Amino acid sequence: MATLFDKLWGMHRVADAGDGYDLLAVDRLLLHERTGGVALKSLEEQDLPVVHAARCFTFMDHIVSFRAGRARNEARSPGGETFILETRRLSADAGIRIIDTDSPDQGIVHVAGPELGIVLPGFTVMCPDSHTCSLGALGALAWGIGSSEAEHILATGTIRARKPRQMRIRVTGELRAGVTAKDLALFLIARHGAQGGNRCAIEFCGSAVDALSMEGRLTLCNMAVEFAAYTALIAPDERTLDFVRGRQLSPAGEGLLEAESHWRTLSTDAGAVFDTEITLDAGTVTPQVSWGTSPEETIALDACVPEGSNVRALSYMGLDSGQRLEGLTIQGAFIGSCTNGRLSDLKMAADQLRGKKIAAGVRGVCVPGSQGVKREAEKLALDQIFIEAGFEWGEPGCAMCFYAGGETFPSGARVLSSTNRNFEGRQGPGVRTHLSNPAVVAASAVAGYITMPQPAQPLGETA
Amino acid sequence: MAEPLVTHSGLAGALMIDNVDTDQIIPSREMRTVSREGLADGLFAGWRYESPGSRTLRADFVLNRHPPASILISGHNFGCGSSREHAVWALAEFGIRVIIAKSFGEIFHGNCYRNGVLPVTLPAEDVDRLASSCDGQVIDVDVRAQTVSARALPGWTGAFAIGAYSKRLISEGLDPIRLTLKEAGAIAGFLERDRIDRPWVYN
Ligand code: SF4
């Protein structure tokens, strides 16, 4: 009677590593220019070689410029170019493949990684970035690590880790029309608190999770770290296998058949016991918007800020207890990030923008999560819809998800954002971030204030 | 690599302040490179020197004595604050081998072991006693026995806890990478089996 997490842990366990830790084999190490270079540099200084460069990948995403037509080394933050150049040099010296700024594969690590088949079910995947938990959506054991752990993996191919407690979150029923995985995640965090995940490894399951697209599952798992989870996981099913098949680095032919028969065994045994269980009825979830400076400070879009709310958050956000969010004037709208920067996210936003213009006084920015997403979107002419509506259409990367110095929304600006963190200053000094799904961001950009999206119009082929 | 530390007898210096944070241990203005070397000079720069940026030693600062202390005694929550590993690097490079405190910042505590500095937590009364009787005197630390004793406190012995893994790091002078590399056989064996079980991982 084992959980999927137990099985994957056991499958990668190399040895006892003392003091309650295990030594786990790491199948993929993903680096990015903001922290990867530091780890590589430190190894270089210690004369330690990188042992499995072929299973490491360097992405350029965090501080690359998102300006349309950006130059190869152009950063969005002052001094950022050094990180791009250094990380590129150190990765190349170590023999690590670089998904570079000008590569057709470039994108945010958690978006491009699955797209390229670098992340596959059952893998252990580590990255010095807290949203690595996103990748659990493919049935991978994935979590964010620190710089010294990245060094350890580079030098040994393994990580010392202490097995966390486990939680199962069963989402029953189905999400209503217009309610997304993002709303589900925000709802969960609002209900159980930003510490609700309690450092557990979470397995999401239930009919509403089964029904999510892979993109929706990536969004749900992405937010697990905002729930203080150790990581999140969804057992691979046929939808996962369909998603993985045919990717650049996915196995093919005989190898694929062998892999698939292994992947089909990856699930939690019927009688397995979790340390904690939460059940949630998907039918009770409605579109959510955060009002405060923690993702737990979230309410239904049409609700009022609770009485007796955290005063510091209220004052930073320029709000009062009891105030309605709906109707609040906004100055910014951002669509992108590893949370909601995938094709389905751009589509649902474009549905709200088609034939419309964003309100005067609103700056709208859309940055596809990867070049792959951007290409697909442009094939569907979504870029035209965004641009005609008055949105900027940027080059893939983390962009305005986090402030790294450089240009952003002005202090005091109220911004609706499809990202995952609404901390003070996250999008820039004094910027007031409200988290929501991309359709809410787009509809509100058009209205000029926070508003409920229009129901999606059936496009003829589907009802 | 750090010198193995099995037993250590060294001069103690008492810095009896609670919540000495990593920014005081190594101010960010003193971290001029990404390198882990050359940091000893900036250790406690705000307290050790007459004025910020100067290198004129303050006669009354505990680490400015000669010969210098290798054992630092401090209060509660030593090494709290930002997770910068530079704080331990600076202490180690300066020559601090043992820090005896009432409690430690958690991340700093973990960083100590991997960098050859032994963090010793003792009850507050014992730390206060050591600070008042042994400042500038020799303290003896035995990692195998997990004890602290002092010639100025005959008959007294303090016992401290240390995990088996951390004990190995300290007593063999290893960091986690080098200790794991000693498991090369187990890792190679795992990879050999795994290449057969899950060949698609290695393509
Ligand atoms: S998009 Fe935002 S949350 Fe995601 S990896 Fe980049 S900075 Fe982190």
Distance from CA of B191 to the nearest CA of A (A): 8
Lowest mean pLDDT among A197-206, A256-265, A353-362, A402-411: A402-411
Give me the pLDDT at residue A458, please: 53
Among A36-45, A58-67, A409-418, which is the least confidently predicted range? A36-45
Q: Which residues touch B135 (CB under 8 Å, ≥6 apart)? A: B12, B13, B14, B62, B73
Local confidence band at A146 (pLDDT 50, 70, 90 cut-offs): confident
The nearest alpha carbon in chain A to B195 belongs to A27
pTM: 0.89
Nearest CB to A38 within list B34, B187, B202: B34
pLDDT tens-digit readout, A247-278: 999 999 999 999 999 999 999 999 999 999 99
Q: How many CB atoms lie within 10 A of CB A221?
A: 29
For ligand 1, atom 6: residue with the closest CA: A398
Q: Does A19 touch chain B (CB under 8 A)?
A: yes
What pLDDT score does A147 carry? Answer: 82
Query: Which among A44, A152, A248 is the top mutation candidate for probing chain B, defined by the most B β-carbons within 10 Å of its own β-carbon?
Result: A152
Quick one: tokens of B196? Answer: 């057969």
Contacts of A116 in chain B (CB under 8 A): none
- Residue B32's Cβ-side half-sphere holds a number of Cα atoms within 13 Å equal to 9
- Please report, for residues A68, A74, A251, A371, the alpha-carbon distance to residue A71 in angstroms, rounded to integers and kept in the order given: 9, 5, 34, 15
Residue B83, pLDDT > 90, answer: no
List the residue whose alpha carbon is closest to atom 4 of ligand 1: A338
Summarised one tens digit per residue, pLDDT across range A289-336 is 999 999 999 999 999 999 999 999 999 999 999 999 999 999 999 999
Distance (Å) from CA A397 to ligand 1 centroid:
8
Rounded to the nearest integer, the mean pLDDT of chain A is 96
Q: pLDDT tens digit string along A92-134?
A: 999 999 999 999 999 999 999 999 999 999 999 999 999 999 9
pLDDT at A78: 86
The ipTM assigned to this model is: 0.92
| Ligand 1 neighbours (beta carbon < 6 A) | A 62, 108, 110, 129, 131, 337-338, 398, 401-402, 419-420
Lowest mean pLDDT among A181-190, A387-396, B36-45, B141-150: B36-45
pLDDT at residue number B134 = 96
pLDDT band for B35, please (50, 70, 90 cuts): low
Beta-strand pair B138-142/B147-150:
antiparallel
Using a CB–CB cutoff of 8 Å, tell me whether B177 touches chain A: yes
Residue A230 has pLDDT above 60, yes or no: yes
The confidence score (pLDDT) of residue A92 equals: 97
Strands A28-32 and A56-59: parallel
Model pLDDT, residue A462:
39
Q: How far is the CA of B137 from the centre of ligand 1 (A)?
A: 52
Is the CB of residue A164 less than 8 Å from the CB of residue A200? yes
Q: What residues of chain A lie within 8 A of the CB of B36, using their CB?
A: 42, 45
Shortest-distance atom of ligand 1 to CA A369: 1
pLDDT at A463 > cutoff 50: no
B194-201 contacts at long range (C-beta below 8 A, 24 or more positions apart): B194/A25, B198/A122, B198/A259, B198/A262, B199/A255, B199/A258, B200/A120, B200/A251, B200/A255, B200/A256, B200/A258, B200/A259, B201/A27, B201/A55, B201/A120, B201/A123
**What is the distance in A from the centroid of ligand 1 to the CA of A9?**
26
A46's tokens: 């210690």
- The pLDDT confidence band at residue A47, using thresholds 50, 70 and 90, is very high
- Contact between B203 and A19 using a beta-carbon 8 Å cutoff: no
